[in-house]
A and B are shown apart, each in its own frame.
Chain A
Amino acid sequence: EAGVVQSPRYKIIEKKQPVAFWCNPISGHNTLYWYRQNLGQGPELLIRYENEEAVDDSQLPKDRFSAERLKGVDSTLKIQPAELGDSAVYLCASRPGTGRDTQYFGPGTRLTVL
């Protein structure tokens, strides 16, 4: 079974430029998460989807960040415009649904903003 797929794996942009990250969760997983991981820290939740609905986006900086999961499968996270402080690893995770089942993480996209 394929794991969570993310692309690109690395992205280098200049500040004020837009950037987008793509995530394909494990087949059949209804819940999808986007996290940001700064160097030396644990992942921090940005947004959680249940199917196509964003049910928790309280930690998403909405002035510059947006996300979508139009058909309840793939998801895209966008930053526009990017700032120097956005440099981090952006992780996507998925899990089947409710209950105590674990989250499965993708490899992440490392973003460097110059």
Chain B
Amino acid sequence: GESVGLHLPTLSVQEGDNSIINCAYSNSASDYFIWYKQESGKGPQFIIDIRSNMDKRQGQRVTVLLNKTVKHLSLQIAATQPGDSAVYFCAENSGTGFQKLVFGTGTRLLVSP
């Protein structure tokens, strides 16, 4: 399939390692944040979300951390697997009363067996 991006920041890890992907967002008024995973030739797939009144949320093998002071979001993936290889995007909701997502620059995660 086609590549989502050729010059994205890249994080290379070994299978079984923990991965941390970082994102800086722009709007201090954003109240909702989402991490998406995008595999080659596919649309973005929801991973996990977090509201601005929280600073941490855990899912299955994934954790999202939100630091509103410095407008920073991170995605932690535990025990990274080859199937986790993809481009990861954070998105912030800039809408009030409706959802209008603004996507950040993606990070390519490469997991070696």
Contact = CB atoms under 8 A, between A and B. Distances in A.
Interface of A: 4, 31, 37, 39-45, 48, 55-56, 91, 93, 95, 98, 100, 102-108, 110
Interface in B19-60: 32, 34, 36, 41-46, 49, 51
A89 to B, nearest CB: 8
Interface stretch (B63-71, B74-82, B94-102): B94-102
B42 A103 contact: no
24 contacts: A39-B3, A40-B5, A40-B6, A40-B7, A41-B5, A41-B105, A42-B103, A45-B100, A45-B101, A48-B100, A91-B44, A93-B43, A95-B99, A98-B97, A100-B51, A100-B99, A102-B34, A103-B101, A105-B36, A105-B43, A105-B44, A107-B42, A108-B42, A108-B43
B44 A39 contact: no
Interface of B: 2-8, 32, 34, 36, 41-46, 49, 51, 89, 91, 97-106
